[in-house]
Structure formats: C-alpha cells, structure tokens
Structure 1
Amino acid sequence: MARVRTALTSPRTRTVVAAVSLASALTLSLSSCGKADMTKQTSPFAAAGGSRSVTLSFGSWVGANANVGVAKYLLEHELGYHVDTTQVDEIPAWDALSQGRIDAILEDWGHPEQEKQYIDEKKTVTDGGTNGVTGHIGWFVPTYWAKAHPDVLDWHNLDKYAGELKTSESGGKGQLLDGSPAYVTNDKALVKNLHLDYHVVFAGSEAAQITQIQQYAKQKKPFLTYWYEPQWLFKQVPMTEVKLPKYTDACAKKGEKDPQSIDCAYPKTPVKKYFNAQFAKGNSDAAKFLKKFRWSNDDQNEVSELIASKGLTPDEAAEKWVHAHPEVWKKWLP
C-alpha cells in the first residue's frame, strides 16, 4: 500500500511488493515512463485471434489472493478462459488497469485520487461495484488481555499501558504494530493528534505481522496492533477493538485535505472492484462474471484460512470452496 495517504475514505489497503515476473515488468515499465500518458498502451496479455483470456491483479494480503483464486478457478473451469494473475502494489495496479495491462482489480479499499484521475477524468477505469466484503481497520488488543484490563479498550487509557507495550523497536514508547508502510494507514497521524505515548512499528508485511501476533499470543503477552476485517486470524487469535474517537464525515473531509490532521477512527468500507474500461465495455462472459462476483466476509475468510493457515495454494483452496458452495457462485455465471 505506497500510500497515497488519502485518509478515512480509503481504509486498509494491504500490499507488499513480492511480485512475480509480470509485477516486476510492470514496475519497470511504470517507473521508466515518468509522467507520460500510458493509458493507450495495450496489454501484454491482449487476446489474440479471439482467444479467451483475462488478467487479474491481486495485492499481497491473503484476502486478495482468496478473491482471485476463486475467480480464476471458475473462469477457467466453468467459462473456459485462460487466466493470468499478477501481484502488483496498489497504486501501480491502478496505473496498469488504466493501461489495459490488467483487466480487473477485485479488492480495493478506496483510493479517491486514483478514482478521480482514472474514472472521472481519463475514463480508462470503470467502477465494478462492491465484491460483497465490508472492510474495517482499527486498533486491536488480544481479548485475553482486554478481559483482564477492560479499560484498555478506550483510547483515553492507552497511555496507562504504554510501559507494558514497549519493545526494542519502539524507542522507549509503547508499540503500535502495523503491517507494511505501504498499507493504507492513518496510525502515525492518530498517535500524534491524540497525543499518545506510542510509536508505530512496521512489521513489513501481513505475513510478518501475523507471525508477530501469533508469537505474542502463544506467550500470552499484551500487544496493540493495527488490524482489519475480514481476517481469518481472528479465529485463531481472538482480538477486541480499541474504541478510537468516532469517525465522522467532517473528520473524513478534513483528512482528505490534510491526511496528517486525522484524529478519528477508520470507517467501515464496502470493498470494491474496478475494471479496465474497454474490458468492461466489451461485456464478455468474463466481464459479466466479474461484475456479478460478490461474496461475504465469511466466504473470503474461509478461503483465506485454507491458504494462510492450512497451507493450500490459492487454486487448491478455491477448488475446495467452490465444491462446497455452489449456491453462492452459480449466481455469478453469465
């Protein structure tokens, strides 16, 4: 998530750059063109001779893998498409979508600047509607600690516990554990504006953050972490959200003008899909299918846990979920 720190209208975008070869090629292409208008470039996977192919982008968090895994499986097995998938960081993914290098992003947590640029102004990207998931970012503590110290669930009391949350990386302050600096996060601004004795420490990725949380939980240690829903880890490590100052539209508008001024909680966000405009206008079976793709937080968590906790590949997890839930996905078929 290089953060386009677009405040409260864009909660959690979780991304880490660990790309496959296409992602590397995309990064090189995007970085080498400066500010040139790339919207007219064609996709390296453009269908040739009427071939049925589609390219899907996914972020580095496991929920994004779950979406793409299921969509890929059904496009290939039910609709006869060849599907290419590529991991691309969030902002470059919008650029690639605009250029036609990818056809769809299936999970975006809100990037107002990119929406304005590519949907409203260039008209190279189309809003694909929600994928059915409702996302929310917040600050969480382990439930076992919250039960022993219920007042920690009010942000006003966090400084009381800063000493217990110090780590070697937090510089003498309490540690607020975040994932990647590229994720959508308002945490540094919140710590500053709420005058809290905490320091934001980045684990570096969702996987690294999960590992750290699991280690703390195994030892029954207290921790305070940036976290989000939907997320399969809640089943293994129950966590309770700390109540931050209430989210308001006024706070959101203030944050849009100056992200460093944010001083309220993250909103609940309908997670959305976005399509390359030409791909959407073509109204192929793939486009029709992806427009209808819509599932629940529980559905995504089920697939995510199979991938992250049970060790299945996205394709294997998708196959397992598809066989178990025909009542959900058959509605997506054109």
Structure 2
Amino acid sequence: MPDRQQRRSPRRRTLTAVTAVATAAGCLAALTGCGAADMTRQSSPYAAAQDARTVTLSVQSWVGAQANTAVAAYLLEHELGYRVDTVQVDEVPAWDALSQGRVDAILEDWGHPEQEERYVAKKKTITPGGELGVTGHIGWFVPTYFAEAHPDVTDWKNLDKYADQLRTPESRGKGQLLDGSPSYVTNDKALVKNLDLDFDVVFAGSEAAQITQIRQFAKEGKPFLTYWYKPQWLFERVPMTEVKLPEYKEGCDADPEAVACAYPHTPLRKFLNTRFADSGGEAAAFLKAFHWNTEEQNEVSLMIAEEKMSPQEAARTWVERNRDVWEPWLR
C-alpha cells in the first residue's frame, strides 16, 4: 500500500519501512532476522548480478507476501540452484528499487498505476511478470457472531445504530473503526466523514497489533468493526462478515478526500526488473510462472503465523506436500 501521495494501490497496507537483507547462504533474512540493511542506502549485493545464479526478491511485511517469497526462494535455491537474497521494503520504495535493479522481482503488488506509468510504460525499466493467482480485497468487517445476531449491521446505512456498542475508550465517544498502522493508506477517514458516520478511525499500530486486538475482542465475544483484507489467514481463526459499503465504480476513489465507495477487488500481480526479465534465465522464467491460489497461500501463511514455523520451514513443508502444484512452474 502506498503512502497517501501514492494512494492508487487498492491494497492500502503499506507497512513500516523496515529493510532487511539476507546473508549470502540463501537465508531468508527479511523473514528470519539473519541480517538487516537500509535499502535507502544499500542495495543487495546480488541484485542484477551479471552471469551469477543469484536472485533478490522484494518482500512485504504482511504474512501472505512472506509466504510467496518463502516458497519462491525455497524452490529457486533447492530446485534451480540459485542463491536468494530477500529485502523487506515498503511498496512504493520497492518499485524504485526494482527499477534501479536493487531488487529483481516483486511477487505481490496490489496495484500502483502511477508507478506502472512511470517505470513500465515510459522508462521500461520494469516488466510485468503476470498475475500471482490471488485476488485481493479490502473492506470493513464485523465478527460473524455479531452479524448473525444483528443482520442489518452488514449494511453501512445501519452502522450508526450500533455505534454505542462499538464504542471503545480510544474512539472519543463514537463507534470505533479499527485500522492497522498510521502508515497504511486507507480511505477510512474519508469514508467515515463522507458517509456521515458516528465513528472514529482508531489505529492499532501494526498488522500484528490489529490481529491481537481482533482476537481479544473475539475471545471476549465483543462486537467490533475493523478494516481488514482478503486473502488473510485470520479469517480461519476469527470468522468475519463484510459490511456492504456503497458500490465501487471505476474512478470513485480518484479523489482521496471525496471517497464514498467500497474498495475494489484487485488481481495481485508480479513485476520484474526489465534487465532481469530479459536475461535472468531459469530464475526469471520460474518467477513469471509462479502462480498459486488463495488457499495455497493461506496454507503457508498459517504455518508461519499460527504454527510459528520459520518461513523457510513453512516453505519446505508446503513444497513437500504440493509437488503437483509447483512442478509446472519449473518447466
């Protein structure tokens, strides 16, 4: 998710600008803490290396993106013999790094038309790598147990009716709409204002903090209203039902201050550095072919987030169980 000036990404989940770089042994540093570096000052030592079997992947901090990178890195290393470096960086800076060859590929992009126009259409330094196979969507959700008890809460027009029940000490006397980090770009403040709702947007601080708050509400059987997104493994643990917002129509979110519509559904895509796409050999071909579905991504995400496996261990487990899925990516 981009910053507010780069708000065209419908994912709206840009995470804190923390950057991590792996050690040379192919360790998933951005995921396992093997080492760290600031991508604004230091690029990967492997990115765009000429005639070298090395690949650098950009990885975002949400667990679904970690799952993509973990499986791709594992197969690149163990099936194709590449050394893989991973770099954790915000979505918009990742486009800059990709254009400059500091990373070779982004495996989960939620839509950045401004960056596409600059780097794909005009500069031609970035090349589309195809769809990931997963469709992303952001929305407002209430716990299913609350929706079943109060079916009309799933229409935004009735939210004010439940504002008192959704009030928290942090929501300043109004109902609470729980968001993640202040660095995420969402339309939520504009939506609350433009739909004239008696709610206040309250930021948990991070995806992890938001998950903790949601799970605590669920444990206590309390109602809540939250910004959330699919695909996401948490739905497997806390069933949630989407609140219907005014229908999304192309361009309805063009003015960030005037947004009064739902978030779109977005096929997630991959992008490659153009030089790498043209000369990256087996690695580039494999990343273009990498394509899985929501259930497969969530299987790996759950292993990382719930079973507390390292991303590399989760990738190995998934790869061992799903040869029929990934073998075609190598052909």
TM-score where L is the length of structure 1:
0.90
Is the contact between residue 44 and residue 85 of structure 2 (CA under 8 Å) also seen in structure 1? Answer: no
| Partner of residue 30, structure 2 | none
Cα distance in structure 1, aligned partners of 2:286 and 2:4: 30
SS in 2 for 1:289: helix
Let me know the Cα RMSD of the aligned residues: 1.8
| Partner of residue 247, structure 1 | 248
The 5 Å alignment of 1:65-80 reads: 65-80=66-81
Task: Return closer, same or farther for 1:144/1:281 CA change in 2, 3 Å cut-off.
Answer: same
SS in 2 for 1:272: strand
Higher relative contact order (CA 8 A, sep 6+): 1
Cα distance in structure 1, aligned partners of 2:244 and 2:272: 35
How far off its partner does 1:212 sit? 0.7
Deviates more, 1:310-319 or 1:16-25: 16-25
1:76-95 deviations in Å (ceiling 9; x for gaps): 00000000011111111111
How far off its partner does 1:2 sit? 4.9
| Partner of residue 17, structure 1 | 17
How far off its partner does 1:182 sit? 2.6
How far off its partner does 1:261 sit? 1.2
What amino acid maps onto 2:160 in structure 1? D
Cα distance in structure 2, aligned partners of 1:49 and 1:196: 56
Identity %: 63
How far off its partner does 1:49 sit? 6.9
Is the contact between residue 56 and residue 86 of structure 1 (CA under 8 Å) also seen in structure 2? Answer: yes
Is the contact between residue 247 and residue 262 of structure 2 (CA under 8 Å) also seen in structure 1? Answer: yes
How far off its partner does 1:301 sit? 0.4
Is the contact between residue 5 and residue 259 of structure 1 (CA under 8 Å) also seen in structure 2? Answer: no
1:305 aligns with 2:302: yes
SS in 2 for 1:152: helix
What amino acid maps onto 1:61 in structure 2? W
Larger helix fraction of residues: 1
| Partner of residue 37, structure 1 | none
The 5 Å alignment of 1:1-334 reads: 1-4=1-4, 10-20=10-20, 24-28=37-41, 44-46=45-47, 50-251=51-252, 255-256=253-254, 258-334=255-331
Is the contact between residue 8 and residue 266 of structure 1 (CA under 8 Å) also seen in structure 2? Answer: no
What amino acid maps onto 1:18 in structure 2? V
Cα distance in structure 1, aligned partners of 2:5 and 2:188: 11
Cα distance in structure 2, aligned partners of 1:239 and 1:14: 22
Cα distance in structure 1, aligned partners of 2:305 and 2:169: 28
Between the two proteins, the alignment pairs up a number of residues equal to 318
SS in 2 for 1:331: helix
- Structure 2: any 5+ residue segments left out of the alignment? 23-35
Cα distance in structure 1, aligned partners of 2:50 and 2:231: 40
How far off its partner does 1:24 sit? 4.0
Task: Return closer, same or farther for 1:321/1:192 CA change in 2, 3 Å cut-off.
Answer: same
Task: Return closer, same or farther for 1:162/1:122 CA change in 2, 3 Å cut-off.
Answer: same
Cα distance in structure 2, aligned partners of 1:13 and 1:110: 11
1:154-206 deviations in Å (ceiling 9; x for gaps): 00000111111112221221111111233341111111111111111111211
What amino acid maps onto 2:122 in structure 1? E
Cα distance in structure 2, aligned partners of 1:148 and 1:135: 28
1:241-277 deviations in Å (ceiling 9; x for gaps): 00000111242xxx22x21111111111100111111
How far off its partner does 1:127 sit? 1.2
Is the contact between residue 8 and residue 112 of structure 2 (CA under 8 Å) also seen in structure 1? Answer: no
SS in 2 for 1:27: coil
What amino acid maps onto 1:26 in structure 2? M
Is the contact between residue 54 and residue 81 of structure 1 (CA under 8 Å) also seen in structure 2? Answer: yes
What amino acid maps onto 2:313 in structure 1? E
SS in 1 for 2:291: coil
Is the contact between residue 12 and residue 185 of structure 2 (CA under 8 Å) also seen in structure 1? Answer: yes
Cα distance in structure 2, aligned partners of 1:333 and 1:2: 32
What amino acid maps onto 2:197 in structure 1? L
Is the contact between residue 76 and residue 83 of structure 1 (CA under 8 Å) also seen in structure 2? Answer: yes
Cα distance in structure 2, aligned partners of 1:240 and 1:206: 19
SS in 2 for 1:218: helix
Cα distance in structure 2, aligned partners of 1:78 and 1:67: 16
Task: Return closer, same or farther for 1:63/1:24 CA change in 2, 3 Å cut-off.
Answer: same
Cα distance in structure 1, aligned partners of 2:165 and 2:174: 9
